[in-house]
Structure 1
Amino acid sequence: MKSIFDETTKNELEERIALLNENSERKWGKMTVGQMAWHCQYPLKLAIENKPSSKKGNLLAQLFFKKSMYNNKAWRKNLPTAPQLKAREPKNFSDEVKVLQQLMYDMHQLKSREAWNAHPFFGHFTKEQWGQVQYKHLDHHLTQFGV
């Protein structure tokens, strides 16, 4: 499984993002490309901030969905999105991509971090799994926009 912690994979993601523009059209879903760039920031921020969570996670999610977060099988289209991750207003593509690119860089720089707090919904991830889930989420949405 690819990981954002791998230099080649990080570069691939950056190259794919560079192929996007404010007129990129989605293949599925409702988000604009600017909203997608905004949406993709949250999981990166969550991992980078690495704050302890008072939540134990969702047991059903941990039992039935967690492994799909970091395995090689592609996510299906139109998966449900947590309400706080839904962009409700237009987003400026250029501004949001700059933030996304910085967060990707920041996440990649954490490849040596050993202590990772649990995900508030999916529970504990290893460092490797954190890198894989970040790649998989970005890959899913870049594929959504044809890159």
Structure 2
Amino acid sequence: MVKKSLHNRIYFEEIKSRISNLTKNSQAKWGKMNVAQMLRHCNYVLQVPLKKIELPSVNHLFEAIGILTKWEMQIFNNGIPRNMPTFQKLIVNFECDFDEEKQSLLKTLDEYLQNLKNENVPARHVLFGKMDKKDWGFLEYKHLNHHLKQFSV
């Protein structure tokens, strides 16, 4: 069973290609965000390992659930459930410019890859607990894949 990761150049390029295939008319199969909002949301999530966005701490019960969820995704290699709650800081419920958001996300992906080469990723995630380079690449791929499937690319 192959575990796709942003740290594998093939899957990194696959994600970039799928983002490039989005158009401003791409329609969501589920959820509340339009395509431009989804691009901004994905950009925000990538900014967490880049240390540009700091998430608020969660109580121990939510952290335990997060750690179990991370293990479950790694063991069974399954995806993120639809309409899963997220941190308030990562919610995009305002209008965004599609072309700007698309270019910005592609730029942030390149920055993420450069950061990765410098081994500069946080050792913890407030929800998923202890994280290493492999964990970040796997979970960031899963998150981007989830939203790209949401918009049929």
- Settle same-fold status: TM greater than 0.5: yes
| Structure 1 position 65, deviation (Å) | 1.8
Normalising to structure 2: TM-score of the pair? 0.84
Residue segments in structure 2 that go unaligned for 5+ positions in a row:
none
Which string of whole-angstrom CA distances, capped at 9 and with x for unpartnered residues, describes residues 27-61 of structure 1?
Answer: 00010000000000122111012788894774333
Q: Which amino acid aligns with 1:141?
A: H
**Contact 1:3-1:134 within 8 A present in 2 as well:** yes
What SS does the corresponding residue of 1:39 show, helix, strand or coil? helix
Q: Aligned-residue CA RMSD in angstroms?
A: 2.4
User: How far did 1:106 drift?
Assistant: 1.2
Q: Bigger shift: 55-64 or 111-120?
A: 55-64
Aligned to 1:27: 29
**Aligned residue identity for 2:24:** E
Task: Name the structure 1 match of 2:112.
Answer: 107
Are 1:78 and 2:89 matched, yes or no? no
Q: Which runs of 5+ in 1 are unaligned?
A: none
2:122 is matched with which residue? 116
- How many residue pairs align between the two structures? 147
Partner in structure 2 of residue 92 of structure 1: 97
Once structures 1 and 2 are overlaid, which stretch shifts more, 6-15 or 54-63?
54-63
Aligned to 1:11: 13
What is the identity percentage for the equivalent residue pairs of Structure 1 and Structure 2? 32
